[in-house]
Structure 1
């Protein structure tokens, strides 16, 4: 942590390193409570001067360890902020990653209570199921491509435990990359993993096409975030395990949903995935 400046447009309060360490654990506890109560917390960057991305991932990891200790089962990882549209929407210039558990994964046609989120938005994505373990650092894009077993239509429901989506990079990273839930299709897309960058997808809200993009919007090649994630986690001694699900990032901007909304990730002739909010 560098105590010389903040990570967002607002600077937080300058404190001693010892107090800062306690604040980071307090932030993790607050986010855990907000996940249960659905009462959001104030932006973290405004409360601790010099909070950096390493601090934010430490907060995220403290929550992951808490959930695992309660018996929740890790289903996979998500990479976020990989498209220019999402980076522009949130005012950041770097991808991030988070985690999700088996009890956060829904299927095609799922009816999902909107009241289970604070301010949900949806993003259309690929879902990669790994057939091989990826352990970085040093994983190439081609190695990551070879590790993909099946490709599914997916929708990530993002949600923010930070008030009013008032986030900079450190806020969303600490808040598990704003992950709320995941929906995944029941049948793999009939697509060659070498061709993912050219695949088109439309985000359809209540039957109306709202946003569209191609796989190239996801870091130029949607497999690139998978390699990036394997290498970042590998530096921490963590591997992406065979059988895990990885979402590499959104084709489009995220759009809000409410009760009675329907969201579809439409991959044209390749297939689609639809979820309903109740």
Structure 2
């Protein structure tokens, strides 16, 4: 159901339009509550007329949470057009763009919201695949200094999710502390570990499952979840080639370059 005309609906439409046209907008003039921010996020996706194909989880380490004045992660919603597979070529953008090496999980079965709270064992049993991934982020705002409500309303700055090689057909304990590396052109590697993600990326997916359950929603078979940054947030150039590399040599690749991908006009 669409919002009635209101400042929140106007913000949702402005964010959707900024995303479609690669423009920027001012941040909200007043602080949003968490509920208001997530409502704006949902409405922006509705304006794209696209179903939720996956999620991104952000603020998955204490330092990032402290910087935004919170004690828990946040989420963003991804539609199919935001998710790329294999060697991805992504158009250069006008705004600064950032990359993160992430483990991406694919749900192998629906994870019912009944019986919440949902524990990690139940989440692990529902995971049908684990992949190397790259999350690319950018802001729709014209300024950098924003609060957590503005960040959530802007879908956690989600832009693209690149899904690379499969590490496993299900969850394994080795993914809790797996080394990761982000490689860029003419720059030293950025080294990290999956333990940076709430101590274990499975904890992040479990947080998401329970957040959704409190709202009567659930993770569904086939949906993808970008679990959180293993390497921190790294600014990238307008024509960089980027690789995320995990143990056992599994990688995801993206190249920033010619605008061969057109995002549909939204809203």
Query: Which TM bucket (shorter chain)?
Result: 0.7 to 0.9
Q: For the Cα contact (< 8 Å) 1:98–1:176, is it kept in 2? A: yes
Q: For the Cα contact (< 8 Å) 1:203–1:209, is it kept in 2? A: no
Aligned pairs for 1:156-171 within 5 A: 156-171=135-150
Cα distance in 2 for partners of 1:111, 1:118 equals 17
What's the CA shift string for 1:230-267, capped at 9, x where partnerless? 11111111111011111111112211223221111111
User: Partner residue of 1:100?
Assistant: 78
Find the partner of 1:237 among 216, 223, 233. Answer: 216
| 1:258 maps to 2:218 | no
User: Partner residue of 2:15?
Assistant: 31
Using the TM superposition, give the Cα deviation of residue 121 of structure 1 relative to its aligned residue in structure 2, in angstroms. 0.7
Find the partner of 1:52 among 30, 33, 37. Answer: 33
Q: For the Cα contact (< 8 Å) 1:57–1:173, is it kept in 2? A: yes
What's the CA shift string for 1:149-168, capped at 9, x where partnerless? 11000011111112233222
Q: Normalising by structure 1, what TM-score?
A: 0.83
User: Partner residue of 1:133?
Assistant: 110
| 1:210 maps to 2:192 | no
Cα distance in 1 for partners of 2:23, 2:187 equals 31
Distance 1:132 1:119, change over 3 A: same
User: Whose relative contact order is higher, 1 or 2, with alpha carbons under 8 Å and at least 6 apart?
Assistant: 2
| 1:22 maps to 2:6 | yes
Q: Normalising by structure 2, what TM-score?
A: 0.86
Using the TM superposition, give the Cα deviation of residue 75 of structure 1 relative to its aligned residue in structure 2, in angstroms. 1.7
Using the TM superposition, give the Cα deviation of residue 91 of structure 1 relative to its aligned residue in structure 2, in angstroms. 6.3
Q: For the Cα contact (< 8 Å) 1:204–1:264, is it kept in 2? A: yes
Distance 1:200 1:118, change over 3 A: same
Find the partner of 2:26 among 17, 39, 42. Answer: 42
What's the CA shift string for 1:7-39, capped at 9, x where partnerless? xxxxxxxxxxxxxx8211111111111112222
Q: For the Cα contact (< 8 Å) 2:27–2:143, is it kept in 1? A: no
Q: Which runs of 5+ in 1 are unaligned?
A: 1-20
| Residue aligned with 2:128, SS | strand
Runs of 4+ with deviation above 3 angstroms: 84-93, 207-210
Cα distance in 2 for partners of 1:113, 1:268 equals 29
Using the TM superposition, give the Cα deviation of residue 215 of structure 1 relative to its aligned residue in structure 2, in angstroms. 1.3
Superposed CA RMSD in Å reads 2.0
Q: For the Cα contact (< 8 Å) 2:59–2:72, is it kept in 1? A: yes
- Flag the structure with higher helix content: 1
Using the TM superposition, give the Cα deviation of residue 88 of structure 1 relative to its aligned residue in structure 2, in angstroms. 5.9
Q: Which runs of 5+ in 2 are unaligned?
A: 258-267
Q: For the Cα contact (< 8 Å) 2:125–2:171, is it kept in 1? A: no
Q: For the Cα contact (< 8 Å) 2:124–2:171, is it kept in 1? A: no
Q: For the Cα contact (< 8 Å) 1:86–1:253, is it kept in 2? A: no
| Residue aligned with 1:188, SS | strand
Equivalenced residues, count: 250
